[in-house]
Amino acid sequence: MSSRTNDLTRFYSALAHLESGISGKLRLSCCDGKMYWAKAKKRGVYFFFENGELRSDSGGGSRVVRVGTHALTSSSRTTLWNRLSQHRGAASTGTGNHRGSIFRKLVGYALMARNPEWTINTWGEGDSASSNEIIAAEKVLERQVSRVIGEMLFLWLEVDNPPCPENQRGRIERNSIALLSGYNESTVDLPSENWLGKYCPREKVKRSGLWNQKHVEENYDPRFLSVLEDLVTRQVEKGG
């Protein structure tokens, strides 16, 4: 067994411990700002799992398909729920804003490639929609993106350091992505043949097996696993 496989096994063991301590994974479409961790304005790292995406080499169970965090600049005031709600979209309408979520943007690209009838030429253009006509035209695809992401399960880990680029949230996100990524070594925990990400025109998504673009080409520092395990243990001992 390779050192990377060993480290992946250790990584997933930590997530299994976390899952046991917070009473299981959460479905994003079933979450809202009234949940205790959302109201408490916690900061943290999240790990998404997608239906049908299973580990094959590092053990059994589902594989992580996206890792993310927030508040990595000193001026940021976003919370964990702020970021997750941007990915989920608006519960009341089923739509969302892909320009505020790279996760939504990437899933939208993949859906258009798989279903050309949903193609919107304005998708991903600009920092905001320039007209009500564009917003209306993009609604169908935004709803499809909300459906796909909303069905995903996730785990959250509290990492409540002050906002800054080099805090523990950033370290865990960066190294988790690099460890999970198949960009440079695609022989461990391959995505399924039907994984939606294989349709994504962004090469980093297709090659990495993740809905991530940053850090997929990097090497990971295995020392981050000790930090991850320690944070998981603290959260479990607190009761989630």
What is the distance between the alpha carbons of residues 233 and 101, in angstroms, rounded to a whole number? Answer: 30
Residue 1: per-residue pLDDT: 58
Instruction: Quick: pLDDT tens for 111-154.
Output: 999 999 999 999 999 888 889 999 999 999 999 999 999 999 99
Place 165 in a pLDDT band, splitting at 50, 70 and 90: low
Q: How many domains does the chain have?
A: 1
Instruction: Quick: pLDDT tens for 175-202.
Output: 999 999 999 987 799 999 999 999 999 9
Spell out the SS3 assignment of the chain.
CCHHHHHHHHHHHHHHHHHHHCCCCEEHHHCCCCCHHHHCCCCEEEEEEEEEEECCCCCCCEEEEEEECCCCCCCCCCCHHHHHHHHHCCCCCCCCCHHHCHHHHHHHHHHHHHCHHHCCCCCCCCCCCCCHHHHHHHHHHHHHHHHHHHCCEEEEEECCCCCCCCCHHHHHHHHHHHHHCCCCCCCCCCCCCCCHHHHCCCHHHHHHCCCCCCCCCCCCCCCHHHHHHHHHHHHHHHCC
Task: Give the strands of the sheet with 44-54, arranged side by side.
Answer: 26-27, 153-158, 44-54, 62-68
Residue 72: per-residue pLDDT: 85
Residue 78 has pLDDT above 80, yes or no: yes
Domain that residue 39 falls in: 3-91+152-238
* Beta strand pairing call for 26-27 and 44-54: unpaired
Mean pLDDT, rounded, of the chain: 94
The reply to whether 156 falls in a domain is: yes
Q: Which CA distances in Å does 108 have to 37, 141, 196?
A: 28, 7, 10
* Beta strand pairing call for 62-68 and 153-158: unpaired
The reply to whether 33 falls in a domain is: yes
Place 218 in a pLDDT band, splitting at 50, 70 and 90: very high
The reply to whether 101 falls in a domain is: no
Instruction: Quick: pLDDT tens for 7-30.
Output: 999 999 999 999 998 889 999 999
The reply to whether 7 falls in a domain is: yes
Amino acid, single-letter form, for residue 166:
E
The reply to whether 137 falls in a domain is: no
The reply to whether 220 falls in a domain is: yes
The reply to whether 82 falls in a domain is: yes
Instruction: Quick: pLDDT tens for 28-44.
Output: 999 999 999 999 889 99
Tokens of 120: 């919107």
The reply to whether 171 falls in a domain is: yes
Tokens of 82: 């702020």
